[in-house]
Amino acid sequence: MPTVLLIPGLVSDAFVWTAVTAALPSVVADVTTQTSIPDMARDLLARHPGRLILAGHSMGGRVAMEMARMAPGRIAGMALLNTGMHPRRAGEEAKRQAMIDLAHGQGMAALAAAWLPGMMNAETVPDPALMASLSAMVCRMTPDIHERQLRALLSRPDAAATLAYKGPMLLIVGRQDQWSPVAQHQDIARLCPQARLEVVENAGHFAPVEQPATVAGLLADWAKSVAAADAGLDRIPDTPLFDRPRSNIGYALNKMAMGLSTPEGRAAFLADEPAYLDRFALTPDQRAAVQARDWAEMVRLGGNLFYILKISAVDPTPIRAIGAAQAGLSLDAFLDIRLGKVTNG
């Protein structure tokens, strides 16, 4: 069963996810100690092993996208809330520096008072109790945490240039989000056509707490369906099924194998296999399986035999040896048990 990992945004913590954690078994990530978006992604992948369903709010969405870039085979699904994928914009550094100076000079309460109102739905008067809770959340952070996170955002990767995630994706945005508006999420949806876009009415940038029941319901229903589909990867014991989830996992692996259909691809593979593999976003496990010619593992990791058999044509491997590997048998046992033959070696 995949772990649902909730990734907070700038100077945020589990409070943002209160309604979600009540509706869905999940874990809230810590992104307060790292110094860059890639470092956050690497750290969370190391701290939370196995299959993951990611939900990232604001800055957390950028961390989720980077995790999906680094380890697409581990991500069963990805939800992005109130976020964007564009790189640093002109004039952004000066504005961020002013906020850093404010937090260090006047404290986190002053930062909360200056920053939070612009994050809310501007068409209504903010709920005083909610604003007090959000201010308390900001004040649980420190000026150093705030600065680390802002500098991580300033050096953020251009997610639009690398976002190639093919798995289930949910986009949630507040209709009145002025910081990460609906248009930014439409841009992501155009790049990832499998994504489902949900616009939450009467909500700004903090949609998970401005409209908690709506957001928690959307996220919980989606995550449960993703987990159910992911559990179906191996409905037949010891038989990896090449269905849509496994196809998504193996996209890069199969693309790499299809590259061997061309003379240029075959020549490059034979000349320098590691360099050829570098062209594709293979996970470490997929790369290791290819280099070990572990056919059963390649299939488990999303490889379609129709494609990965092209490797055996370039680096000749008898088809019966691949069949034995798939069956978990030695070649002699495979020939004897499955084909009724005995080999002379």
Domain boundaries, the chain: 3-89+153-233, 235-339
List 27's β-bridge partners, or say none: 5
Largest CA distance in the chain: 84
Q: What is the pLDDT of residue 318?
A: 84
Q: What is the CATH number of domain 235-339?
A: 1.10.700.10
- Edge-to-edge strand list for the sheet holding 75-81: 27-28, 3-7, 52-57, 75-81, 169-174, 196-200
Q: What is the CATH number of domain 3-89+153-233?
A: 3.40.50.1820
Q: What is the pLDDT of residue 343?
A: 47
Q: What is the pLDDT of residue 344?
A: 44
Provide the residue-wise pLDDT of the chain in tens; the chain has 345 residues: 899 999 999 999 999 999 999 999 999 999 999 999 999 999 999 999 989 999 999 999 999 999 999 998 899 999 999 999 988 888 999 999 999 999 999 999 999 999 999 999 999 999 999 999 999 999 999 999 999 999 999 999 888 877 888 889 999 999 999 999 999 999 999 999 889 999 999 999 999 999 999 999 999 999 998 998 787 655 565 677 777 777 878 899 999 999 999 999 999 999 999 999 999 988 888 999 999 998 888 988 889 988 999 998 888 888 888 887 777 677 777 777 666 654 444
Q: What is the pLDDT of residue 31?
A: 98
CA angle (100 as vertex; 98, 102 as ends), nearest 5: 70
Q: What is the pLDDT of residue 87?
A: 87
Instruction: Tell me the CA distances in angstroms from 202 to 59, 126, 152, 214, 301, one per residue in order.
Output: 21, 11, 30, 11, 42
